[in-house]
Chains A and B, each alone.
Chain A
Amino acid sequence: MAKTIVPIGPYHPLQEEPEFFTLTVEGERVVDIDVVVGYNHRGIEKLSEKKTFDQVPFVVERICGICSTSHPFAYTLAVEDIIPMEVPERAKYIRTIIAEGERLHSHLLWLGLAGHFLGYNTVYMWAWKLREEILDVMEILSGNRNNYAMFKPGGVRRDIKAEDIPVCMKKINSILPTLDMLRKAVMDDPVLAARTKGVGVLTREEAIDYSALGPTARASGVARDARKDSPYAAYDRVKWDMIVTKNGDVFDKVVVRVLEMYETYKIMKQCFEELPSGEIDAKIKSIPPGEGIGHIEAPRGECFHYVKSDGTNSPVRHKVRAPTYMNLPTYKATVVGETISDATIILAAIDPCYCCTERVAVRDVKGKKLYTGEDLVRLSQEKTKYMRERS
């Protein structure tokens, strides 16, 4: 059968980070996939070298709009590793609350998008409505719905007021009933299960070989979570469980994220209840020459920062490694062998900071047939509809 090239990319308006996929298909089967990134290479690492240690958190915060706290978090840990030092207890708890709030809204955002791709626009609406509550909480705590600017080397910038805590808890509690409903809708729906079970499987061996991270690895049975493996902030002071499933398909990736939201809720609740009093900033005087590594568990996996200092007030080298950098190449293992209508959800299943499906064009070798990104989403939605009617 003749091979057909399917270009996907490079811009997607829903999530940032442009990427360009080339799917080679035979009929409906994907036989090869290639990824081109770098359309929006901003040179953040080079830019960091020209900023002072206190300015860099503001730069790295703008790497990603969704997980905007994970980069400053990893960076501050790296700087604190150079010195080395401990931050005050209260700052640790506040950091945990901010990071977990971000995980909650990031997972909800992904769940909504996944629902949309599969033709479940109700899930999309519900999930994004719940997300608003979390963004309100973040606004109460930090003053911003996103880009919270809470982190600085040595502690946090803003304190949490005692009178805000009941308001925040009430808002977080209010999402639980709807979250239960969403969980049941995801776990029990036969069509959703048929669409996602056994689709886009990443085996345990492949997950290790690609060094996959976060929910992508945990869905494949690799128990890997920086919060447990290398406890930072207040994660070793609160009780929570790591969610690990073993099938590695899209369904398991959904399950891991949905169940993880409950763990996040547990962590936030305990942090609010046990928030110790005291200082929030250790007030770093100077940063000695040396090098430091900070790694934290972002919503999508481990975020890794390496900072090298020569004793001046700005870093000489700052390496940023976002989790998608390791998760993205797993496409080669998951998409090949699947159909085009499943490619959309598999590509979305690793929760990439992802930008592909809008500018999608499908054409045969002679350039006759043409699908756009909307057509691909429609194709995916029609498949669900067809299966729903048949069941």
Chain B
Amino acid sequence: MRNDILKYIQERFKSDVIDIFDKSPKRVYIEIKSEAIVKVACYMFKDLGARFNIASGVDMREHMEILYHFTIEDLDLVISLRVKLAKDKKLEIDSLAPHFKAANWIEREIRELLGIDFKGHPDLRKLLLPDEWPKDVYPLRSDYEEWDKGAIRDRGV
């Protein structure tokens, strides 16, 4: 059952799947092209009935990476869709929020913490950072430097 699903994903999205890394019986990482994220994610969420755990963005220095974690509960399997975004191009990817509501908040969070734009997101206000946070400063990027010297004083240090 588990292997059938992986095989089927590979065949159905033949041109979009770059690599399938079968890490352990409970964990699979599938690298896909960034254009195909809506297609594959909607297939996982709606057709396979997987639950959307969360997405996690990482600044890998050479490129940006987003992992979309899905759980298929009946099979006890976590499938993570890996998307790599080149840094020399505009950092943007299609939003999943119009397709299922669970993706709404995390896309807002990734946008402000890593500076990746989500095309078609219905509500792009800030989620976690304060309104006075400067533009183009993204705290989870590897080149982030502390900009607010006053913050140290507030912490009582």
A304 contacts B105, C-beta separation under 8 Å: no
Ranked nearest first, the 8 interchain pairs of A and B with the lowest CB-CB distance are A211-B102, A38-B128, A319-B56, A321-B54, A229-B73, A41-B128, A317-B58, A230-B76
Whether A325 contacts B73 by the Cβ 8 Å rule is no
* Complex Cα spacing A306 to B80, Å: 11
Is B24 in the interface zone, CB < 8 Å from A?
A: yes
Cβ–Cβ contact B58 & A209, under 8 A: no
Contacting pair B102 A209 (CB below 8 A): yes
CB of A325 within 8 A of CB of B51, answer no
Q: Is the CB of A326 within 8 A of B58?
A: no
Min Cβ gap B120→A in Å is 17
Residues on B with C-beta less than 8 A from A230 are 26, 71, 73, 76, 78
Instruction: Name the interface size band of chain B.
Output: 20 to 34
Q: How far is the CA of A270 from the CA of B64 in the complex (A)?
A: 47
Interchain CA distance A231-B29 in the complex, whole Å: 20
User: A329 and B53 in contact (CB under 8 A), knowing A37-B128, A293-B78?
Assistant: no
B140 at the interface (CB under 8 A from A): yes
Instruction: Determine whether A237 belongs to the interface, using a CB cutoff of 8 Å to chain B.
Output: no
A293 lies within 8 A of B69 (CB): yes
Partner of A38, one of B51, B71, B129: B129
A319 touches B26 (CB 8 A): no
Q: List, in ascending order, chain A residues with CB within 8 A of B149's CB.
A: none
Interface string of A275-316 (1 = CB under 8 A from B): 000000000000000011101000000101010100000001
B87 at the interface (CB under 8 A from A): no
Complex Cα–Cα for A331 and B130 (A): 22
Q: Given A38, A43, A45, A292, which contacts B127 in the complex, CB threshold below 8 Å?
A: A38
A203–B139 CA distance with the chains assembled, in angstroms: 37
Q: How far is the CA of A316 from the CA of B69 in the complex (A)?
A: 18
CB distance from B80 to the nearest CB of A (A): 7
A292 to B69, CA, bound (A): 12
Q: Who on chain B is nearest to A322 by CB?
A: B54
Q: Which of A38-58 contact B (CB under 8 A)?
A: 38, 41, 43, 45-46
Spell out B's residues near A (CB within 8 Å): 24, 26-27, 29, 51-54, 56, 58, 67, 69, 71, 73-74, 76, 78, 80, 100-102, 104-106, 126-130, 139-140
Contact A293 B51 (CB under 8 A): no
Q: Contact at B101–A319, with CB atoms within 8 Å?
A: no
Q: Which residues of A contact B52 (CB under 8 A)?
A: 211
Which residues on the A side are within 8 Å of B53 (C-beta)?
211, 295, 302, 304, 321
- List A contacts of B140 (CB < 8 A): 45-46
Q: Could you tell me if B76 and A81 are in contact, using CB atoms closer than 8 angstroms?
A: no
A: which residues have CB within 8 A of B? 37-38, 41, 43, 45-46, 81, 84, 208-211, 224, 229-231, 291-293, 295, 302, 304, 306, 308, 316-317, 319, 321, 325-326, 328-329
**A211 — which chain B residues lie within 8 A by C-beta?**
51-53, 100, 102
With a cutoff of 8 Å between Cβ atoms, the chain B residues found around residue A81 in the complex are 24, 27
List residues of chain B with CB within 8 A of the CB of A37.
Answer: 127-128
Closest chain A CB from B46 CB (angstroms):
10
**Interface contact B51-A224, CB-CB below 8 Å:** yes
Residue of B nearest to A229 (CB): B73
Instruction: Name the residue in B27, B58, B71 with the highest tally of chain A Cβ atoms < 10 Å from its Cβ.
Output: B71
Alpha-carbon distance A293/B51, docked complex (angstroms): 15
Which residues of the partner chain B approach A306 to less than 8 Å between Cβ atoms?
A: 54, 56, 67, 69
Contact A46 B139 (CB under 8 A): yes
Interface contacts beyond A304-B53, A321-B53: sample of 9 additional A-B pairs, CB < 8 Å, sorted by A: A43-B139, A45-B140, A81-B24, A230-B76, A231-B76, A292-B27, A317-B56, A317-B58, A329-B102
User: What residues of A have a CB within 8 angstroms of the CB of B56 in the complex?
Assistant: 306, 317, 319
How far does the Cβ of A215 sit from chain B's closest Cβ, in whole Å? 16
Q: Check A38/B69 contact, CB under 8 A, given A46-B139, A211-B51.
A: no
Point out the residues of chain B lying under 8 angstroms from A308, CB to CB: 58
Tell me whether A38 and B130 are in contact (CB under 8 A).
yes
Contact A304 B129 (CB under 8 A): no
Partner of B78, one of A84, A295, A317, A319: A295
When chains A and B are docked, how far (Å) is the Cα of A326 from the Cα of B29? 22
B69 touches A304 (CB 8 A): yes
